[in-house]
Amino acid sequence: MSEALDLTPPDNEDPDALTLSALLSSRVCHDLINPVGALSSGLEVLDDPAMEGAMREAAMDLVRSGAQKAVALLSYARLAYGAAGGFGAQISIDDAKKALTDLFAITKADLTWKIGDGLAAKEKVKVLMVLAYAAADCVPRGGEVVIEGDIDNFTITASGKKLLLNDDLVRALGGDTTDLTPKMTPAHIASQLVKLAGGVLRVKRSDEAVTFKASFSE
């Protein structure tokens, strides 16, 4: 069964800038707390002179894993949520690809990238990055996320053994701010960026895949 979901923004009031910044900050902190906690735990073990052999090696693995995840999440957040380049600037699609490749290395999804390189409007790249991360969440037990097209018309398809599409995500992508949570704040911001850039956002789910499509040339 296939279902196309309406992302027409509802008639509600957007959160103010302070509220959005607080929600987004909470999202970033939530993403980082586990890898940073792993770093702290690993360092505590390494500081203990009584810990030797396998315990020290396990602690080093914990530090390496925590560092990898923290760097990947921070690099992603800098481009997807940050002010890199200033408003209206162009940023490198290659930078987005690298940030997403590193991010997907710490998820259960595999990334297949089929978009060319070059520079693109920052707003469009941010939308792509937010939707890509959302697509990874749609395959919590592993699968593939394919990004294809071009930056003006791209499609992100998630397929895997188990497909999930959170109703709160769909509402946030449609601009609905009712009971907006930190986790869904990036999706709401993406919806506003699409609107700002004069684009259209669609979501479609079927038994085989969840598809996000952003079009900026209609």
Counted residue by residue, the chain has a size of 218
78-96 per-position pLDDT tens digit: 999 987 655 558 889 999 9
Number of H helices, E strands in the chain: 6, 8
- 4-43 pLDDT, tens digit per residue, is 665 655 656 678 889 999 999 999 999 999 999 988 988 8
* Sheet of 143-150, strand order: 3-5, 200-205, 210-215, 153-160, 143-150, 109-114
Delimit the domains of the chain by residue range.
3-215
CATH of segment(s) 3-215: 3.30.565.10
Asked if residues 125 and 91 have their Cβ atoms less than 8 Å apart, the reply is yes
Q: How far apart are CA 55 and CA 48, in angstroms?
A: 10
Q: Give the confidence band of 58 by pLDDT, cuts at 50, 70, 90.
A: confident
Query: SS3 string of 126-157?
Result: HHHHHHHHHHHHCCCCCEEEEEEEECCEEEEE
